[in-house]
Amino acid sequence: MSKSAKSRKQIAEKDVISAEEQHRHGRIVFYLLLVLIACLAAGGDFLDQRQRDVIHPSFALTKTRRLSHYLSSLRDSRGDTDLYIFQGRKPGGTLLIIGGTHPNEPASNVTAALLVENLRVEQGQVIVIPRANESGFSATEPQEAFPQHFALLNRLGKEREFRVGSRYANILDGWPDPVVYRHYPSGQLLSGPETRNLNRAYPGRRNGTLTERVAFAITEIVRREKVDLVIDLHEAAPEYPVINAIVAHDRAMDIAAMAAVELQTRGFDFRLEPSPVNFHGLSHREIGDKTGARAILMESAGALQGRLRGPTNEDLVIKSVDQCYHKASQLGKLAVDFPAEGIPLEVRVGRHLTGIKVICDILGRFEPEKSIVYNQIPDYDELNSHGVGFYLK
């Protein structure tokens, strides 16, 4: 081959290589752009998780406070949250309602929000925390395909949006989890992620993790405000044995037993469960042991928390119709009856509201000086005929 033909061939080969390289660079830029678009979309979703639900308190609200009022190190952290305090004109007992301990149990924080937006206290004092685990509301449970939000229509037909969060506090507020979680002060050992479970952190620790400090501040509310009765609101999977239950500390067992009987005679399936003595970190056990309050936890049945659930979307949160659970119920495999029409939010919130009312009434009968009397809260039938949204502003 002549010299000039050789150099022409080399130039042609170079052209092919540079065209291939350009093509490769183009592909890299294209994929980088795709990644950037995906990151922006996901980043928007993550930021959206940090938007707080708006609550419009009732005109009868006496005052609001932040949880950091009871532990200043929570100020400006994601552990800080709002409390709503309603005082009656007549002296009486003090009730603390804890909502949103587990932000993936929507009937809990929705019940608390409905109370804040409607409550009028005549006697005694009611303190409501709608989002006790504020950090958990800023995350979504990984690998559960939960909807990020759900919306209820209020009486004006406007949407009221609520977050579906994570059972645990946001990993960013406690990273990394230890391999084993050692509960303070009992020394009980649980798996590492339970470090971020508010209902395994009581009575909490002043200088502990964010979750321990939140639990400590809530226990401080009970001590400083001389709370007589604590009710912590939850939901659990229909296959979980402690369901549709009132779980009561030993010193609350008298009123809880009377309440369970009264609720059953009214046709509600409410079971009574004693707070396990050796299971530490739970609100009913530790607040009951470490303060003077009677401590109770209530569980309603939510398909969202279960392992057998089908499509997981807003409808499952609100209407909670699930054919898998219905079938399991027909086969007698569940701890509760799961009808074809589901267990809608009205039923779950209605159960919580009815349980709270009956427990307060019974406390007043046992100890009249600790009476807690309030009104403007819909009863179970009203809630079921109008829907939860009707009672939100």
Closest separation in Å from C-beta 234 to Zn ion: 3
**Unique residue bearing structure tokens 């009672």:** 391
The region of 12-20, 216-224, 227-235, 315-323 touching Zn ion under the rule CB under 5 A is: 227-235
Closest approach of Cβ 31 to Zn ion, in Å? 42
**With binding defined as CB under 5 A, does residue 234 bind Zn ion?**
yes
H/E element, 381: helix 380-386
Q: Which is nearer to Zn ion, 200 or 294 (CB)?
A: 200
- Closer residue to Zn ion (CB): 61 or 215: 215
Q: SS3 sequence, 155-211?
A: CCCCEEEEECCCCCCCHHHCCCCCCEEECCCCCCEEEHHHHHCHHHCCCCCCCCCHH
- The window from 157-165, 233-241, 290-298, 349-357 that contacts Zn ion (CB under 5 A) reads 233-241
d(CA 266, CA 380): 11
With contacts defined by CB under 5 A, name the span among 53-61, 201-209, 232-240, 360-368 that binds Zn ion. 232-240
Binding to Zn ion by residue 200, rule CB under 5 A? no
Q: Establish if 352 lies at the interface with Zn ion (CB under 5 A).
A: no
What is the full DSSP assignment across 79-114? T--EEEEEE-SEEEEEEEEE--SSTT-HHHHHHHHH
Which residue, 105 or 220, is less far from Zn ion as judged by CB?
105
- How many other C-beta atoms can be found within 10 angstroms of the C-beta atom of residue 230? 27
**Smallest separation (angstroms) from Zn ion to the CB of 62:** 28
Q: What is the 3-state secondary structure (H, E, C) of 250-310?
A: HHHHHHHHHHHHHHHHCCCCCEEEECCCCCCCCHHHHHHHHCCCEEEEEEEECHHHCCCCC
* Residue 79 beta carbon to Zn ion: minimum distance, rounded to whole angstroms: 18
Q: Which of 105/134 has CB closer to Zn ion?
A: 105
Site string for Zn ion, 92-111 (x = CB under 5 A): ----------x--x------
Binding site for Zn ion (CB under 5 A): 102, 105, 234
